[in-house]
Amino acid sequence: MYKIGDFSKKTNINIKTLRYYDEIDLFKPSYADKFTGYRYYTDEQLLDILLIKELKKLGLSLEEIKKYLKTKDIKILEKRRRALEMEINNITNFLTNQYKKYKITESNYEKYVLINGIKYAKKPQALAVRDKEAKYYVIENDNDFIDDFVIFIKNNNWITINRLKYLDKEYIDFIFNYLKENGYTYITEIVPIEEDNVANAIRKHFTNIEESTFFQGKWEYIKFKIYL
């Protein structure tokens, strides 16, 4: 058996919380010494407290958790799922409306240098924009700068957008819909092999892609050809 302090360390739940769970009859110790007041817990209770932690992560209230532990009523979890789906839809709609306020415009070398700084004026990306080997795009909201990206036309429409943006579905949809409307049939994205979160987001979001790997020196990359 574990004293409350040892059980607290083992489960990473502080003593005050364990005492509170006992008071509200959510999670009681296996044994409490009526003379000393010491609480004792067993190994068998580890699964119960871990379940409580998981249910809290799902956003269930303590009352909902207590009810679920007593009844194992799946409807409690289904209700929470519906609430989460509604929250996700609300956030998605909000973001979509926000992106509708954004405007993408094709710009030029001078704007590129103005935004990125004079120290980038002679970088390969800037020179490609200057020499019409790449197109430069700026995203603004009420004339306030939001983001920018370059597409290398002579390098299979390779896009230089921040790769973490692929984790934001609405933002990527906003950009790629614009590109499709403006004549692009595909975009190429290069992802370092270790950025599996980005690669998986691309695989999940786009249904028509070609995928290959290549090495540049000792570095391995995944090349995605994304059809719009």
The band of 94, judged by pLDDT with boundaries at 50, 70 and 90, is: confident
Token output for 157: 């429409």
Determine contact, residues 151/158, Cβ cutoff 8 Å. Answer: yes
- How far apart CA 109 and CA 193 sit, in angstroms, is 31
pTM to 2 decimals? 0.62
Cα gap 220→228, rounded to integer Å: 25
The tokens of 165 are what? 């943006």
| Helix%, strand%, coil% for the chain, nearest 5 | 50, 25, 25
At residue 117, φ and ψ (nearest 5 deg) are 105, 150
Which among 63, 72, 91, 57 has a CA at the least distance from the CA of 168? 91
Q: Identify the band that residue 93 occupies on the pLDDT scale cut at 50, 70 and 90.
A: confident
- Domain residue ranges of the chain, discontinuous segments joined by +: 2-57, 101-227
pLDDT score of 37: 83
pLDDT in tens, 135-164: 999 999 888 999 999 999 999 999 999 999
Yes or no: say if 165 and 157 are a contact pair by the CB < 8 Å rule.
no
2-57 and 101-227 share one fold: no
CATH architecture for residues 101-227: 3-Layer(aba) Sandwich (3.40)
pLDDT of residue 92: 80
pLDDT value at residue 98:
75
pLDDT at 97 over 90: no
Residue 11 confidence class, pLDDT cut points 50, 70, 90? very high
At residue 91, the pLDDT reads: 86
From 3.40.50.2300, 3.40.50.300, 3.30.56.10, 1.10.1660.10, which CATH number describes the 2-57 domain? 1.10.1660.10
Give percent of the chain with pLDDT exceeding 90. Answer: 85
Which tens digit of pLDDT belongs to each residue from 157-190? 999 999 999 999 989 999 999 999 999 999 999 9
pLDDT at 96: 75
The band of 197, judged by pLDDT with boundaries at 50, 70 and 90, is very high
At 188 the pLDDT is 98
Of 12, 92, 87, nearest to 46 by C-alpha is: 12
What is residue 6's predicted lDDT score, i.e. its pLDDT? 93
